[in-house]
Structure 1
Amino acid sequence: MRKVVLFIAQSLDGYIAKTNGNINFLENPQRDESIDHEYENLMANVDTVVMGRTTYDQVVNELMPDHYPYEQQQSYILTSHPTPEIADRHFVNEPVVELVEKLRREAGEGIWIIGGSSLIAPLVNANLIDSYIIAVLPTILGGGIPLFNEQTQERKMVLKSAKQINDIAYLKYEKKVTQ
């Protein structure tokens, strides 16, 4: 069965964006990309990306308007708005849990989850995320959009690694297997 990975950055106080959705705090001037290969390591092991429509719009309109960064992966964008298909981009209107369960059963490599808590919480609650890789940036926002919201149920994790690259702490957790 394919592995599901949440790879996401957050502020030191647990926010993935400011209240207005702005993510400019992610532009970390102290980051030396020549020694930070965490993103490349992730991309070498995933062939599918699942994201919400808000995240997709942010990627194609703000972050990378000239180049879609996930052209080598199959992208599934959850949306309630009908959208014409684009090569390797599938706009779907179905619950994220059903989509991820279906994708896990198909042949392939890892599945990367990108998005906010409305996408993440149902997957946490269904215990479908195998690995949580959280990059903690040295910024305190004081408020914003939290990584995990009040809909997220309590879940025990196992810390697999913690490492510092530049001034970013990368924490890797895996779901706790109960017997």
Structure 2
Amino acid sequence: MAEATTLPTLPLADIHLPDAPGVWPLAWGWWVAILLTCIAIAFLVMAFKKQRRYNLARREALQHLATLKSPEHFNQVNLLLRQVAMSYHSREYVAGLTGQSWLSFLDLHLEQKDQGFTRLKDTWQQGLFSPTPLEKEQFAMCYQQAKKWIRKAKFDVLPEVSKESGNV
């Protein structure tokens, strides 16, 4: 029999698998997602700052109101309400409101239309124009109503004003 021929071994290299796909460079879809996320974060930061600046008058008014806890300070409480209102509306509009129109303006800006200021109009009138201070219970009701108004008043819409009478 013939001798078995042996094949010579060839110098072949082992099979190498390609590297796994890398994260970098990012596909264009990821760049769009990153850009949209950055825009959303910038928008939220600006909205937060704007809201903080918008509520600055409220925060300062609540701090000042905390120091006005006696019936002798009734006029200062009313003045504080007027200053807060002028922070959000024009001075020409708010400064001309007096009496019933002022109390209606305050009630109009509360979300719950409970007519708290109008309901207490006799007490407010007495506190503003009487030489004697209000009783503690009367002052406490007006104080709580003022505190509620400073916290919860909505200033997004300015009501119509009658040019002749200046009433709301």
TM-score, normalised to structure 2's length? 0.21
Greater strand content: 1
Q: Which has the higher helix share?
A: 2
Using the size of structure 1 for normalisation, the TM-score is 0.20
